[in-house]
Amino acid sequence: MSKSLEQSALVESSWGKLYGVGAGPGDPELITVKGLKILQRSPLVTFPSGRNGKPGIAQQIISTWLRPDQKTLALDFPYIQDDEALQQAWDKAATQVLQYLQQGQDVCFVSEGDVSFYSTFSYLAHSVQNLSSGVPDNLTCSGSISSSGPEIITVPGICSPLTAAAMAGHPLTLRQQKLVVLPALYDAAALSQLMDFADVVVLMKIGKEYQKIWSILREKNCLEQSYIVERASWPEQKIYRDLGDHPALSLDYFSLWIIPVTESPPPFGNLTV
Amino acid sequence: MSKSLEQSALVESSWGKLYGVGAGPGDPELITVKGLKILQRSPLVTFPSGRNGKPGIAQQIISTWLRPDQKTLALDFPYIQDDEALQQAWDKAATQVLQYLQQGQDVCFVSEGDVSFYSTFSYLAHSVQNLSSGVPDNLTCSGSISSSGPEIITVPGICSPLTAAAMAGHPLTLRQQKLVVLPALYDAAALSQLMDFADVVVLMKIGKEYQKIWSILREKNCLEQSYIVERASWPEQKIYRDLGDHPALSLDYFSLWIIPVTESPPPFGNLTV
């Protein structure tokens, strides 16, 4: 081996790559071709663990695509609000993943929807980066410090607002419409005020706030054109329209409320994918 | 044939199905598996025509997937503001598509990005629906009127904000962050005001407004963390950071400005897909 090649080998990273792949909203075929290729060639596929002993959402979505020889690893991302405990959980998950990356093995992490849009992948990737920064690169026998860490590659996925609109046969946005996405309702007054500005509002989590939101929409005359999509693209998907007739509804956690504030055409599609 | 089967045949639609498929942002592998399947089994694939004799964006994206025996049809969606002329163009495109649908042939329309998110598909689908409503269904020899028209099926695609964030290695949104998407800048004062509310703002079209936006972001101390992605996921993709150093930039039409208004972590990824 020539000297220059030897030197080049010394600086080349031995880290495996961390892929973040959006599994899409639920229908297994709504993953991208690129995402599926990466998923299927990865020896190790990781995803957020489920609750109560059930497989997690992303795991359910991709299960039909996994080969029997692929290793899987469920990572614990607890549903808690405490910042310190969350950071500990992300670091623990990152440490598990780093064990493989450090051995030069690629790891594919999948989460439901998109991996940049309110996704656990963001936390995992940051912890992996933070914990690997300054870790000796085990190929470089000289013990030189790699400050770069593993390469992290993000492959986008279909997020739920796009899916909900498609399933309901509505355009989500048209022409010059301003879109606002709210991950939760914090403040009824703020939502009301916001509707003077936005053309379309998407509420990502409804939960126990249904009646509060319903009252605001009634007051703003937006109930009629609004719709809710529960579990978009899953076999158990439900679409709720004519919300004026539903002052109370009990909805799944994965339910989106789409509120066309300004004029919107009637739906053109149907519920088939 | 029994009487009941005969009757059932009479009410069954003879229309072909209209599929709207999001081709994704540019990288051909960022189409969904479902979208690709529908695209490849469609005898007729349509898309918006390009400008100056060049193939359109969606056509460029899907060209690698087309089989030589598939028929293609470019539909004219002019870049104009006049409502009446636009409606005429949409109706003309719909009439072209309806010729095939009425013969029972499925048609696949593809557009770049997603088909519900600022997409020409919404206009085509509405014109198809409006023009087909009340058209006699040519299977029902009794001449009964089908008021339903062809089935319209929407398959979502990866939209550009998700892609831009992925390519830049940033989360687009985290936890409780409020996202605002503006298709264009109308009013500098409104953008400034909006930034008091939003955690993340995406400006979809920048065009000649670069300097105006740049000044607002500087005033709001948001230049440093903002970034621009030009032609996300295309081979010619460019990412602009450190925008404080760029008071003037000449950008492609397909450029997105992503503005994290509130605290945002540093990027974890790189530019590889």
Contacts across the A-B interface (CB distance below 8 Å)? 193
Distance CA B148, CA B132 (A): 8
Instruction: Give me the interface pTM, i.e. the ipTM.
Output: 0.90
Higher pLDDT, A142 or A198: A198
CB contact B159 to A (< 8 Å): yes
Per-residue model confidence (pLDDT) at position A268:
64
pLDDT digits (tens, 9 = 90+) for B58-113: 999 999 999 999 999 999 999 888 999 999 999 999 999 999 999 999 999 999 99
Higher pLDDT, B225 or A5: B225
Range list of H helices, A12-119: 33-41, 57-62, 83-102
Tell me which residue in B34, B115, B176 faces A30 most closely, judged by beta carbons: B34
Per-residue model confidence (pLDDT) at position A97:
98
Per-residue model confidence (pLDDT) at position B12:
60
Inter-chain CB proximity B175 and A24 less than 8 Å:
no
Can you tell me the mean pLDDT for A109-136?
Answer: 92
**Residue A108: its H or E element:** strand A107-111
Per-residue model confidence (pLDDT) at position A8:
44
The shortest C-alpha distance from A129 to chain B (Å) reads: 7
Chain B positions in Cβ-Cβ contact with residue A114 (cut-off 8 Å)? 158, 162, 166, 172
For the beta carbon of residue A245, count every other beta carbon within 10 angstroms: 8
pLDDT digits (tens, 9 = 90+) for A203-256: 998 878 899 999 999 999 999 999 999 999 999 999 999 999 999 999 998 999
Give the lowest-confidence range in A87-96, B30-39, B206-215: B206-215
CB contact B162 to A (< 8 Å): yes
Can you tell me the mean pLDDT for A154-175?
Answer: 96
Chain A positions in Cβ-Cβ contact with residue B155 (cut-off 8 Å)? 30, 166, 273
Categorize the per-residue pLDDT at B259 as very low, low, confident or very high, splitting at 50, 70 and 90: very high
CB contact B115 to A (< 8 Å): yes
Q: Check residue B233 and give left, alpha or beta (phi > 0: left; psi -120 to 50: alpha).
A: left
The whole-model pTM stands at: 0.90
Inter-chain CB proximity A174 and B118 less than 8 Å:
yes
